[in-house]
């Protein structure tokens, strides 16, 4: 079973994402705190990262850049999301290497299609 790393500090939101992924046949690894992110990535077997760009205490753009510059992790697709009003942050996420960047509404509404497109 493919594993998806969800980097999200909102328990309700991460639960919704986890439920959808389970329906699609994916196992979720959830990092609610910044310290958990790198540990889970190092464990390997992550096929996709779903990243909330607005996590307190985590420089998410730097995280994406580190992920994409690491040869053993660079091929992992990243779906990033934030409030639609965070246009500069969403733009930086695209520039940093995120394959898909959407609003919070988009991640909820289109998650199934986004995951399938990322892992196709």
CA atoms of 70 and 55, how far apart (whole Å):
22
Report H helices in 1-120.
11-24, 34-42, 60-69, 87-96, 104-118
Residues 96-117: tens digit of each pLDDT: 999 999 999 899 899 999 999 9
What is the DSSP secondary structure assignment for residue 58, as one 8-state letter?
-
Whether residue 41 is predicted with pLDDT greater than 80 in this model: the reply is: yes
Whether residue 46 is predicted with pLDDT greater than 80 in this model: the reply is: yes
Does residue 25 come out as left (phi exceeding 0), alpha (psi in the -120 to 50 range) or beta?
Answer: left
Query: What superfamily does domain 3-118 belong to in CATH?
Result: Response regulator (3.40.50.2300)
Whether residue 87 is predicted with pLDDT greater than 90 in this model: the reply is: yes
Residues 71-82: tens digit of each pLDDT: 999 999 999 999
E strands, 1-120, in order? 3-7, 27-31, 46-52, 78-82, 100-103
Q: Domain locations in the chain?
A: 3-118
Percent of the chain with pLDDT over 90: 73
Res 18: pLDDT = 95
Residue 5, beta-bridge partner list = 29, 49
| Beta carbons of 27 and 2 less than 8 angstroms apart | yes
Q: Is 115 helix (H, G, I), strand (E, B) or coil?
A: helix
Res 42: pLDDT = 82
CA atoms of 32 and 12, how far apart (whole Å):
11
Whether residue 35 is predicted with pLDDT greater than 80 in this model: the reply is: no
CA atoms of 12 and 46, how far apart (whole Å):
22
């Amino acid at each position: 079973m493919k594993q998806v790393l969800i980097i999200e500090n909102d328990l309700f939101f991460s639960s919704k994402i986890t439920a959808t992924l389970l329906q699609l046949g994916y196992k979720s690894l959830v990092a609610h705190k910044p310290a958990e992110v790198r540990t889970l990535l190092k464990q390997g077997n992550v096929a996709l990262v779903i990243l909330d760009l607005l996590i307190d205490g985590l420089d998410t753009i730097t995280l994406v850049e580190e992920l994409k510059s690491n040869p053993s992790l660079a091929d992992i697709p990243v779906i990033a999301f934030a409030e639609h009003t965070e246009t500069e942050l969403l733009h930086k996420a695209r520039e940093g290497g995120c394959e898909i960047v959407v609003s919070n509404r988009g991640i909820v509404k289109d998650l199934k299609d986004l995951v399938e497109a990322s892992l196709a």
